[in-house]
Amino acid sequence: MAPNVEIVCDEKLDLGEGPHWDHKGGVLYYVDIFESSVFKYDPSTKKVNRVVVDKQNKTPVGFVIPVADTNNKFVIGYRNELAILTWDGISPDPTNVEVLVGVEPGTTNRFNDGKADPRGRLWAGTKAKYHPGEPEVRSGALYSLSKDGKTVKVHATDIGISNGLAWSSDFKTFYYIDSFNRAVDAFDYDIDSGETTNRRTVFDLIKNNVEGFPDGMTIDVEDKLWVATFGGSAIHRVDPVTGSLLQSVSLPAAKITSVAWGGPKLDELYVTSASRFDTEENRHAGRLFKVTGLGTSGGPGVPVKL
């Protein structure tokens, strides 16, 4: 059976990103970066709640991840800072925003994608300001956050656009995307220490004739990666062991930004998209999609442990 693509939220987002499935709550969280907004989508009611984190300055929010063992606290990428957002999931206004730590002061860089590893350790990376067609600037970095939330550790520098993150089922491999590389990289990973070594490319988009830039990413139960392509109108299932393209699913939007498994059986793939910089006639740009009938499943979003 062919995969089925469905629009689950018709609100047009500027730069939808960072889907995170909260399996305990049965809801999906995601962001609209430059609208400084966090969303909660409840599939059981089809209802979407939105909070604008910073109405006055529209501080970009790069990602949102729940804090473990809480009901109303989330770690967000807040321009070049990591912060705790307190939100009841209903109100259009936050209860509180508490900055944990900042990076790269004096720059216009901001946090982009972020995710917790299987132990709940937060990983997040930065990027410089970039508009399509401009020269690529590689001034970002990849960080992990200490368990007390007070310090960060740098794991990679000279990053263009820090993006997708995923871990293998045995926790021994960490997959990572710098979009400018048009590739997916892997590190050997020590889950106990959080150390990364032996960075190498495991999937090359250009060699596999995949259009667009690699963006967000997730992994399925068979340890195959699912990569969203910004400017490629598709998501792609790839084998990081052989470096081969296994499957592609087209979507009715050009700028596909990220993917996350969800649903009661974790076999529904939620997909975010963007309408930012759109010049083509594309009425579905910026929507939230759900893809079913993929014949596989994944894991829930991991909350951050602090």
Catalytic sites, residue numbers: 215
Alpha carbon 153 to its chain centroid, in Å, reads 20
* CB 98 within 8 Å of CB 83: yes
DSSP conformation letters of 191-260: TTTTEEEEEEEEEETTTTT--SEEEEEEEBTTS-EEEEEETTTEEEEEETTTTEEEEEEE-S-SEEEEEE
In Å, how far from its chain's centre is CA 62? 8
Amino acid letter, 126: T
What size, in residues, is the chain? 306
Separation of alpha carbons 108 and 119, rounded Å:
31
CB atoms within 10 A of CB 119: 13
Name the residue type at position 5: V
Q: Kindly give, in sequence order, each residue whose CB lies less than 8 Å from that of residue 126, ignoring residues fewer than 6 positions away.
A: 80, 103, 104, 109, 110, 111, 112, 140, 141, 143, 159, 162
